[in-house]
Amino acid sequence: MAVAMQGATKVWQRRDRRTQFTVWAAWLAGAAVFAYCFQLISDKTIWVFVLDAPAQAGDLAVRMVPPDWAFITQLGRPIWDTINIATLGTAMGIAIAVPVAYCAARNTTPSVAFVRPVALFIVVSSRSINSLIWALMLVTIVGPGVFAGIIAIGLRSIGFCAKLLYEAIEEIDENQVEAVRATGASGAQITAYGIVPQVLPAFAGISVFRWDINIRESTVLGLVGAGGIGLELNGAITTLAWTQVSLILLVIIATVIVSEWVSAKVRHAII
């Protein structure tokens, strides 16, 4: 603890002088970087538009109320598509993520030197690219529609699921595996009876968690043409049908809240 002398009295201080300077310098450096970056953004901004924004927002809000409730009859199909994209995409992602995770976990991988780096590279590249970018790419390749969306969500989910799953595999209790091995079980039997039961709850939790995230992500895939409710949203915005836009936003919020509720319930039941 640092104590400073003020005349004859001792005063408690949180840090000694040296640490205090280091902390202060770190804050200064951080503030400088922040100010510099903000300056660069501000140079690229047309401030007239920014100052005008509150008026614009008010205007937009007036035009969005009340929502065009009759339009909801046309939203059934897009919502169904959105849910399908999320669900089938999650299923596809998990189906690929399981072998990848098996190869990436240090204790189950067939080869630490060759297979593991490849698996880790798959995980990283799938995780760094957002599903919207995957969709952008796939729409140019397989054409617009739900199919591109499913594959985009699937590809994006591989990395997320495989990462969490291989971490779960690495954290298993080796004693159980050892016990199964001691009975003379083969490699496949060790996996099935020693490893799988230990990671199954984590696996179910991860799947549901990713499904919940995917519902949210699949609401926007339509903006680049990959099907779902985003397509309707894009259409409504480009035709300036603001009452339809507000209805779509409400439907999206409702879907997301319901999926979050389902996911929380299921995870609660598992754990």
Partner 1 sequence: MSIAVAAPRRWSKPPLIKSARLRWGLGLGAAVYLALAFGTTDVNWNRVWEGLPRGAQFVTAFFPPDFISRWDEIVEGIAESIWMTVVSTVVGIALSVPVGIGAARNIAPAPVYYFCRGILAVSRSFQEVILAIFFVKLFGFGPFAGFLTLSFATIGFYGKLLAEDIEDMDPAQAEAVRATGAGWLQWINFGIQPQVMPRMIGLGLYRLDINFRESAVVGIVGAGGIGATLNTAFDRYEFDSAAAILLIIIGIVMMLEYLSGYLRRWVQ
Stretch that binds partner 1, among 84-92, 104-112, 166-174, 182-190 (CB under 8 A): 84-92
Q: Does 183 interact with partner 1 (rule: CB under 8 A)?
A: no
What is the Cα 236 distance to its own chain's centre?
26
Q: How far apart are CA 195 and CA 165, in angstroms?
A: 12
- Cβ pair 134, 152 in contact under 8 A: yes
Stretch that binds partner 1, among 16-24, 107-115, 135-143, 174-182 (CB under 8 A): 135-143
What is the Cα 267 distance to its own chain's centre?
17
- Cβ pair 224, 132 in contact under 8 A: yes
Nearer to partner 1, 81 or 231 (CB): 81
Q: Does 253 interact with partner 1 (rule: CB under 8 A)?
A: yes
Instruction: Tell me how crowded residue 180 is: count the other CB atoms within 10 A of its CB.
Output: 18
Count residues near partner 1 (CB under 8 A).
58
Count the residues in the chain. 271
**In the set 104, 105, 119, 146, which binds partner 1 (CB under 8 A)?**
146
The values of phi and psi at residue 11, to 5°, are -120, 130
Orientation of helix 115-128 relative to helix 76-104, angle to 10°: 150
Q: How far apart are CA 105 and CA 198, in angstroms?
A: 14
Q: Does 214 interact with partner 1 (rule: CB under 8 A)?
A: no
Triad 208, 212, 213: Cα angle to 5°: 120
Nearer to partner 1, 58 or 99 (CB): 58
Interactions with partner 1, residue window 33-72 (CB under 8 A)? 33-34, 37-38, 40-42, 44-46, 49-50, 53, 56-57, 60
Q: Does 262 interact with partner 1 (rule: CB under 8 A)?
A: no
Long-range contact pairs involving 261-264 (C-beta distance under 8 Å, separation at least 24): 262/208, 262/212, 263/208, 263/209, 263/211, 263/212
**In the set 155, 168, 199, 220, which binds partner 1 (CB under 8 A)?**
220
Nearer to partner 1, 96 or 249 (CB): 249
**In the set 124, 179, 258, 264, which binds partner 1 (CB under 8 A)?**
124
Q: Does 165 interact with partner 1 (rule: CB under 8 A)?
A: no
Q: Does 95 interact with partner 1 (rule: CB under 8 A)?
A: no
State the nearest-atom distance from the C-beta of 121 to partner 1, in Å.
9
**Nearest to 216, CA basis, from 228, 202, 203, 204:** 228
Binding site for partner 1 (CB under 8 A): 30, 33-34, 37-38, 40-42, 44-46, 49-50, 53, 56-57, 60, 80-81, 84, 87-88, 124-125, 127-130, 132-133, 136-137, 140-143, 145-147, 150, 193, 197, 200-201, 204, 216-217, 219-220, 223-224, 233, 237, 249, 252-253, 256-257
